[in-house]
Structure 1
Amino acid sequence: MNVNKLIFILLFFLSFDFVRAQRIKGSDTVLPLTQQIAERYMREYPDRSVTVTGGGTGVGLSSIYDHTTDIAMASRQIKFGERLKLKKARQEIREVEVAYDALAVIVHPSNPVNRLTREQLDGIFRGKITNWKQVGGEDRRIVVYSRETSSGTYEFFKESVLGNKNYMSSILSMPATGAIIQSVRQTRGAIGYVGLAYLNRYVKPIAVSYDRIHFYTPSLENAIRGKYPIVRPLYYYYNQADSAKVLPFIEYILSPKGQEMVKKNGFVPLI
């Protein structure tokens, strides 16, 4: 084989990898949805490759900056400091809403408490309410679990439920949503929060009220109808320079077919 032909083949495969192979990283909330969509996308387009990993929203956005991912999954909007850092690096970031998510407050299945107000949640997660008997439960210490500070879910819960006030200093931070599910399942006095799609029979979701009158359980129906109060948008972020590479996948998740998968995976579709 002559050198020119070898160079041509090498350039062809490099071009193929650049256009067809995509890396997606970030929010653990968006992770299972993106994995499902990626699997279907690759079945329909077998010449394309999509690799999806978690780590949290902050990790995803940092990976955009480091050029170690093509799309960052995020369960919160990009912060001013993050956007400024990217701008200084001459990276023009683009934001796309891909779905909405209801954030469920969960307890151990044996817990008799079935509903809490926003004020009671604030008291629990800020350390002012420390025993379940203070909110109508049994005499048992409350064990509070949260996501770590790099998580978009951590940021959103702090904003929506705590009014941007700080969590209690002794809160138990978990590196992933699955770890919160496992911890609450194993701890009778536990409470935590997870994306609606992560709910299973091993934990119990709590009905929540923001007006102290109307209580709604976290469900897809209540979220779509606008009744459940803890709902947030989910995002993809990418560099403008990578548009040609990433837009086919983004357009796929935004299509009617993709949004139907959003709904089937326990998230609230845009359409």
Structure 2
Amino acid sequence: MKWIKNAVALGFILSLIFSQVASHQAQGKAITLKGSDTMVLLGQRWAEVYMKKTPGSRIQVTGGGSGTGIAALINGTTDICEASRPMKDKEKEEVKAKTGKEVVEIPVAVDGLAIYLNASNPIQELTLDQVKQIYLGKITNWKAVGGSDTRIILYGRENNSGTYAYFKEHVLQNADFHPTTQTLPGTAAVTNAVSKDPKAIGYGGIAYAKGIRHTRVKKDANSPAIEPSMENVLSAKYPISRFLYWYVAGQPSGEIKKLVDWVLGDEGQKLVQAVGYYPLPKEISAASNPPKGASAKKASQSK
């Protein structure tokens, strides 16, 4: 009768295996999000809440920088690219050449690019030009902008970062960073460095401005100093406001479309604010196909 016991045991083992396989198949393929380190906390929070709400769903979120996410979208190794800067036309053409699909741009949140200072730094405001001159190495002492007589230590992001690209274009006007800028692999690393260095200045997403200070920013010497508050960012009064984006190859469908719709809906947008960024204006977040090339200023005009 031993063979009967063995057969029963084998049947039990096989049933466990088939059960696990069926469970795995029911879960389906994981949706992958890759790219912006600015957005990685937001992407992880969305994934955590969505998976709890949606049994069987799986979402994998990784950072590496906007450039890394864009490269992954081009190569077909991610479903969704998270980017803190708009994709370039050349990059979109590469996606189409590789996949045969047009890139769909989806604004998912709004951010004010913050200028980080150490908590002990008394500076309350800077003009965009002062920030530019600091990062070009033409202003090297805090005394020149109303601070103490100490040299300025520059921190920034690596060149595959969307935040790096946005800052270079909109603040430095495409000039090169001074070679003494210490480049770090993520916004959290920048804020950590600034928090420990009284002489430091850095830049990055508003959601990371914890344990440090962010200064008010003036468009020019004659303009008012603007705080990167939600009202000021959504109205584009804050001079370095930007969208945060998802990019997909082709119109979203199936499980990806369900996720996109949820992120653009009320619950997904409430999480944007909970993480520390700003939700899209209703007219933008309610659209399943947001306008291509939209800016924070355009969004504010639709309110």
Return the TM-score normalized by structure 2: 0.81
Shift of 1:194: 1.6
Shift of 1:144: 0.7
Using the alignment, how far apart are the partners of 1:50 and 1:90 within structure 2?
22
**Structure 1 stretch 215-224 or stretch 58-67: which is displaced more?**
215-224
- From 69, 76, 97, the counterpart of 1:88: 97
1:207 corresponds to: 216
1:57 corresponds to: 66
1:36 corresponds to: 45
Using the alignment, how far apart are the partners of 1:84 and 1:165 within structure 2?
26
- From 69, 73, 78, the counterpart of 2:82: 73
- From 24, 33, 44, the counterpart of 2:33: 24
Determine whether 1:217 maps to 2:227.
yes
How many residues are matched?
A: 263
Shift of 1:97: 0.8
Determine whether 1:178 maps to 2:219.
no
* Paired AA for residue 28 in structure 2: D
Q: Summarize the Cα distance change of 1:198–1:91 in structure 2 as closer, same or farther, 3 Å threshold.
A: farther
2:107 corresponds to: 97
Q: Summarize the Cα distance change of 1:48–1:155 in structure 2 as closer, same or farther, 3 Å threshold.
A: same
| Cα contact 1:196–1:219 (8 A) shared by 2 | no
1:26-49, CA deviations, whole angstroms, 9 ceiling, x for partnerless residues? 101111112111111111102111
RMSD between superposed Cα atoms in Å: 2.2
The percent identity for this pair of structures is 39
Larger radius of gyration: 2
* Matched residue SS, 1:144: strand
| Cα contact 2:32–2:80 (8 A) shared by 1 | yes
1:156-190, CA deviations, whole angstroms, 9 ceiling, x for partnerless residues? 11122122222212211111001101111111111
Structure 2 alignment gaps of length 5 or more? 1-10, 12-16, 283-303
Shift of 1:16: 4.7
Using the alignment, how far apart are the partners of 2:89 and 2:237 within structure 1?
30
Return the TM-score normalized by structure 1: 0.90
* Paired AA for residue 210 in structure 1: K
Using the alignment, how far apart are the partners of 2:38 and 2:23 within structure 1?
36
Structure 1 alignment gaps of length 5 or more? none
1:256 corresponds to: 266
Shift of 1:237: 0.9
